A and B are shown apart, each in its own frame.
Chain A
Amino acid sequence: MSQQIQQRDGYSPLALDLLAKAKRGGATEADIIIADGETFSVQVRLGAVDRLTKAREKRLGLRVFVGKRSASTSTSDFSPDSLDQLVTETCTLAKAVVEDPVSGLPAADQMAGEVPDFDLYDPTRLNTEQQIELAKRVEAAAMSMDERVTNSEGGDFDSSSGRVVLGNSHGFLGEYQSSSFSMSVSPIATDPVTGAMQRDSWYDVRRKFAKLDSPEMVGLEAARRTVRKLGARKVATQRVPVVFDSETAGSLMGNLCGALSGYALYKGASFLAGQLDKPLAPEFVTVYDDGRVVGGLGSRPFDGEGLPTRKTTVVERGVLKSYLLDTYSGRKLGLASTGNASRSVGENPSVGPTNFYLEPGTKAAQDIIKTVKQGLYVTDLIGFGINMVTGDYSRGAAGFWIEGGELAYPVEEITIAGNLKDMFAGIEMIGSDLVFRGRIASPTVKITEMMVAGS
């Protein structure tokens, strides 16, 4: 039944039908999200197909409010009986929790009035053989660059496309399609003298197939990143300037996102609580969250509650100007939503970035490294040593030792430690090399000083 409706009119009739049923079941407000999509992924290892995965999936999430009480449910079973039961169960569940004075949908007049097209969907369909070929090419390129590349964890090609339908009892009903294509490879290099192995990887991901870097470019970069790690050693424990490459600097922006989440803030679980309109970083630091970038990996026409997305200046000339909020966390803080509701089907909305980035500076990464007499260039971070409540930061790192402005030798088995507040305040230089390979991106960043622990 639902399958037939889907083929004729998409999921909108189903969404409207369930919203009406929720109302009849006692809901005063409700919203529904339906997502479906198909994914393909292939991994090639040492030139042969290692794993091929193909699937279609669909899922539906319902959130109801009974007065100020609410509950959420989800299912992959779209049979009419099962959905009727879901509606009943959701209303029952909502009645079992307590009232929450600020709960509820966004105000009706805030809903996105139009669904702009940010060019997020590419109808290109590659057949299985073409995708296998791309995975083979990216791995072959990585394996061919240097004879010290001896093994591989595989070359991958993934493609997916899907559709999201969101509707609520205010009468909002929006739908959009999106796609993504990605390619990656993880070569392994062996030190010809010691036999020690190192692995690294490189990747590209785009909404449009035609925008992907060539497999050869991705493979060569992966090999370059891997081979240069051979011979890595520890360094002595000391306090030095630290340069984060664009990948690891992106992770610092990710940490900033986490601390700016309305949920962490109202719970008192963020070191940035109460810091709005206060200086966070030097005046040459500006950070944006822009949900309307054409073709952006984090772009969407409306957020997880149906509010319009926007471009938010998060940090303006060093001053913290905005948190990232959805309706609920905004109300808890006495602020309006910033259109950052992120919604996975079946969960309550949470807060997530759209396209979140540090505005680039003018210096090339090499020129930033040149300013360091003795210090660390970080290319890898591992572990979870970040306390978001206090900002305390301690993570495993690898990269290169900088001597006299040059990368002298690779380093590993060290940690870098400090406090995120001090680290943002200590940003000394920003590179020009901003490239989006995800929703969060940053150029190279130099921080005045951190503690490096090694031998």
Chain B
Amino acid sequence: MGDLVQLTSFGLTEGEVLGALGRVKVRDVDYADLYFESCVSESVSMEESLVKRATKSVSQGVGVRATAGEKTGFAYSDELTKKDLELAADTARYIANSPGGAHAVPVPVHQHPTRDLYPIDRARAEVATAERVSLLNAIDAEARRSDPRIKNVMASFNTEYKVVMVATSDGTLIGDVQPLSRLQVTCIAEENGQRQAGSFGGGGRVGFEFYYEGDRYLRFAREAAREAILNLSAVEAPAGVMPVVLGGGWPGILLHEAIGHGLEADFNRKKTSAFSNLLGKRVASDVCTIVDDGTLPGRRGSLNMDDEGTTTGRTMLIERGILRGYITDKLNARLMGIPLTGNGRRESYQSVVLPRMTNTFMLAGTSDPEEIIRSVDRGLYAVSFGGGQVDITNGKFVFSASEAYLIEGGKITRPVKGATLIGSGPEILTKVSMVGHDLKLDEGIGTCGKEGQSVPVGVGLPTIRIDEITVGGTQR
């Protein structure tokens, strides 16, 4: 939010915005908003030791929304003229079945977020292409240097610079500048005709210097190479129910899939979630306390304000095993009569607002991580994952390990090939018996998909022991 956002950056006056709001906020409309967005995204990528691709894309537009009861009317336009705004307003208010015409809305008070979680001004967010190129070249060299079996390195560096402004019928006009970047490295290792891949990456709402702090970019390169090499010697994964120890950080995707989605207010209002009606009930063992927190400085899932202009916060989801709250946007908080948590998010001006997670993690416990591993006689130790998915209604979720090891006799022994873990959301956390004192947040690579919309998110986890979960390997 280094720069302050003004309506003039969208070529509009307060009068024009107020006029469009008045046009959409007809009699039966409970709430209306306009969301202006301009976004510049840039990407450079490297493979075969050549930085040979560069792309840049510019988009700008407005989304106009009206809600009436449970109904939402929505229209968007990539033109920002008064005429386009009016057309979108007329479309959005269609759901209300009220006569058109100009209606009075409160004159918005122009505000700025009260804090700045990502103070990066445009000058620092714009990195010369040559600097991006030299970053990727150094990554290629580092990965290949780390092991001669690394045969190809693919790396990409993406940045996004998004300027948003929200005008609401409840009298708010507020803007934010949301920078985001991510560095991703994939290595292919080859030995005796066998190939394996390893990936690593990270980023956040950070400036370019983040990647050089403590040679972070080189560490990403070495980690991707290490995972690829490790997987060359991986044995078939076991199949069946067994205890699983999850390492800290990115394995927190478990929380995102197993419980996070199920606690989004829209599914609970519609009673389509396996967590509907479980508020105040036990859904986890008492060593589990889980929050969603959009206020962590520089994090990928953090926001000064959500896409409805609400200041983000820290929401207690599960406290010592008891389900405490849902994450909400304005529509669902109003309909359910529950607190507004600042989780109304959208992919872009072309998408509607949905309640979405920000950074979701489990608070640290008291166990020693090594003791947690020693407690398992035969099981799996999983430290890195690919993607996950959940069926909200029956609660079944999966997530797929990309780096995992067998635990035999309390010791980590051989690496195993990736396997999918499957469980049931409302049950799995009741089987968490130990939580480590080593809470770690992920490196900043998560992207969450819901109803076709992608938004950046964060996760975090200390080392935990799950007493039993089904592991989808191939060996008995």
With contacts A348-B55, A382-B398, A398-B396 known, is A49 near B196, CB below 8 A?
no
A392 and B417 contacting across the interface, CB-CB below 8 Å: yes
B188 adjacent to chain A (CB < 8 Å): yes
Interface string of A61-80 (1 = CB under 8 A from B): 00000000111111111000
Shortest CB distance A432–B (Å): 30
Measured CB to CB, the residues of B under 8 A from A are: 44, 47, 50-61, 70-78, 91, 94-95, 129-130, 133, 151-152, 154, 186, 188, 190, 194-197, 237, 239-241, 270-272, 274, 350, 352, 386-394, 396-400, 417-420, 422-424, 470-476
Residues in chain A within 8 A of chain B (CB atoms): 45, 48-59, 69-77, 82, 86, 89-90, 93-94, 96-100, 103, 128, 151, 153, 188, 196-199, 229, 232, 234, 237, 267-269, 273, 346-348, 380, 382-385, 387, 389-390, 392, 394-396, 398, 412-418, 451-455
Please determine whether A453 and B73 come into contact, CB atoms closer than 8 angstroms: no
Contacts of B474 in A (CB 8 A): 394, 417-418, 451
* Docked-complex contact B472 and A396, CB < 8 angstroms: yes
Q: Decide: A396 and B420 in contact? CB cutoff 8 A.
A: yes
CB distance from B448 to the nearest CB of A (A): 13
Cα–Cα, bound, A82→B59 (Å): 11
Q: What number of residue pairs across chains A and B have CB atoms under 8 A from each other?
A: 251
A sample of 24 cross-chain residue pairs with beta-carbon separation below 8 angstroms, ordered by A number, consists of A50-B70, A55-B75, A70-B53, A71-B53, A72-B53, A74-B58, A75-B57, A93-B54, A93-B56, A93-B129, A96-B133, A97-B54, A268-B188, A269-B154, A269-B186, A269-B188, A383-B420, A396-B397, A414-B472, A415-B422, A453-B471, A453-B472, A454-B470, A455-B241
Main secondary structure of the interface of A (DSSP, over half): strand
Would you give the shortest CB distance from B346 to chain A, in whole angstroms? 12
Give min CB distance, A136 to chain B, whole Å: 13
Judged by DSSP, the binding face of B is strand
The CA-CA distance from A390 to B32 in the complex, in Å, is 51
Contact status of A237 and B47, CB under 8 A, knowing A45-B270, A76-B59, A390-B196? no
Q: Which residues of A contact B396 (CB under 8 A)?
A: 382, 396, 398, 412-413
A387 to B419: give the CA distance in the assembly, Å: 10
B194 partner residues in chain A, CB cutoff 8 A: 390
Closest 5 pairs between A and B when the two form their complex, measured CB to CB? A415-B472, A383-B398, A396-B398, A385-B420, A199-B393
**Other than the known A71-B55, A86-B58, A396-B396, what 7 A-B pairs have Cβ atoms closer than 8 Å?**
A72-B55, A76-B78, A382-B389, A383-B420, A384-B387, A413-B424, A415-B398
A384 interface neighbour in B47, B73, B386, B419, Cβ under 8 Å: B386
CB–CB A89/B56 < 8 A: yes
A54–B91 CB distance below 8 A: yes
Pair A197/B272 contact, Cβ less than 8 Å: yes
Complex CA gap A278/B250 in Å reads 40
A103–B52 contact, CB under 8 A? yes
Contact of B56 among A45, A49, A73, A385 (CB under 8 A): A73
A74 to B473 Cα, complex, angstroms? 43
- Which residue of chain B is the closest to A380 with respect to CB atoms? B391
Give CA–CA (A191, B237) in the complex, Å.
35
The CA of A392 and the CA of B234, in the complex, are separated in Å by 12
By a CB distance below 8 angstroms, the chain A residues around B94 are 52, 128
Contact A385 B470 (CB under 8 A): no
Rounded to whole Å, the gap between the CB of B449 and the closest CB of chain A is 11
Distance of A418 Cα from B472 Cα, bound (Å):
10
A45–B270 alpha-carbon span in the complex (Å): 9
CB-based nearest A residue for B55 = A72
Q: Provide the residues of chain B in CB contact with A267, threshold 8 Å.
A: 47, 152, 154, 188
**Known pairs A45-B270, A53-B75, A198-B393; A385 contacts B386 (CB<8 A):** yes
Knowing A198-B393, A269-B188 touch, does A53 contact B70 (C-beta < 8 A)?
no
Closest Cβ of chain A to B186, distance in Å, is 8
C-alpha spacing A390/B195, complex, angstroms: 7
Complex CA–CA separation, A151 to B392 (angstroms): 14
Is B70 a contact of A94 with CB atoms below 8 Å?
no
Question: B388 to chain A: which residues have CB within 8 Å?
Answer: 383-384
Contact partners of B188 in chain A: CB under 8 A: 267-269, 389
**CB neighbours of A382 from chain B (8 A):** 389-391, 396-398
Say yes or no: A55 contacts B237, CB within 8 Å: no
Contact B197 A73 (CB under 8 A): no
CB distance from B459 to the nearest CB of A (A): 16
Give the chain A neighbours of B400 by CB distance below 8 A: 383-385, 394
Tell whether, in the assembled complex, residue A51 and residue B74 are in contact, meaning their CB atoms are under 8 Å apart: yes
Query: Would you call B387 and A383 a contact (CB within 8 A)?
Result: yes
Q: Which of A76, A97, A453 makes the CB contact (< 8 A) with B52? A: A97
Give the complex CA separation of A98 and B52 in angstroms.
6
Closest to A270 in B: B195
Q: Which residue of B lies closest to A234 (CB)?
A: B470
In the complex, which of the residues A52, A153, A199 has the most CB atoms of chain B within 10 Å of its own CB atom? A52
**CB-nearest residue of chain A to B273:** A197
Contact of A76 with B91 in the complex, beta carbons under 8 Å? no
A236 to chain B, nearest CB (A): 9
Q: Which residue of A lies closest to B393 (CB)?
A: A199
A93 contacts across to B, CB distance below 8 A: 54-56, 129
Specify which chain A residues have a CB less than 8 angstroms from the CB of B418 in the assembled complex: 385, 387, 392, 394
Contact pick for A413, options B61, B270, B393, B470, CB 8 Å: B470
Q: Determine the distance from Cα of A214 to Cα of B194 in the docked complex, in whole angstroms.
A: 51
**A75 vs B38: C-alpha distance in the bound complex, in angstroms?**
11
Given known A97-B51, A237-B239, A396-B422, contact A199–B394 (CB-CB < 8 A): yes
Please report the C-alpha to C-alpha distance between residue A390 and residue B471 in the assembled complex, in whole angstroms: 19
**How distant is B13 from chain A, measured CB to nearest CB, in Å?**
19
A385 to chain B, nearest CB (A): 4
B151 nearest in chain A by CB position: A268
**CB-CB < 8 A to A58: which residues of B?**
78
Q: A383-B399, A385-B418, A413-B396 are in contact. Are A49 and B71 (CB under 8 A)?
A: yes
Is there contact, CB below 8 Å, between B154 and A394? Answer: no
Is A53 in contact with B352, judged by CB distance below 8 angstroms?
A: yes
Q: How far is the CB of A100 from chain B (nearest CB, A)?
A: 4
How far, in angstroms, from A176 to B471 measured CA to CA in the complex? 48
Min CB gap B68→A, angstroms: 10
A347 CB contacts on chain B under 8 angstroms: 55
CA distance A103 to B52 in the complex (A): 9
Complex Cα distance, B388 from A395, in Å, reads: 10
Instruction: Find out whether the CB atom of B420 lies under 8 angstroms from the CB atom of A395.
Output: yes
CA distance A452 to B471 in the complex (A): 10
Complex Cα–Cα for A394 and B404 (A):
14
* Least CB distance, B263 to chain A, in whole angstroms: 16
Partner of B270, one of A100, A151, A394, A454: A151
* The residue from B44, B54, B78, B352 contacting A51, defined by CB atoms under 8 A apart: B352
How far apart are the CA atoms of A229 and B391 in the complex, in Å?
13
Given A56-B77, A76-B60, decide whether A415 and B420 contact each other with a Cβ distance below 8 A.
yes
Q: B472 near A395 (CB under 8 angstroms)?
A: yes
CA distance A348 to B237 in the complex (A): 37
Which of A199, A229, A232, A390 touches B272 (beta carbons < 8 Å)?
A199
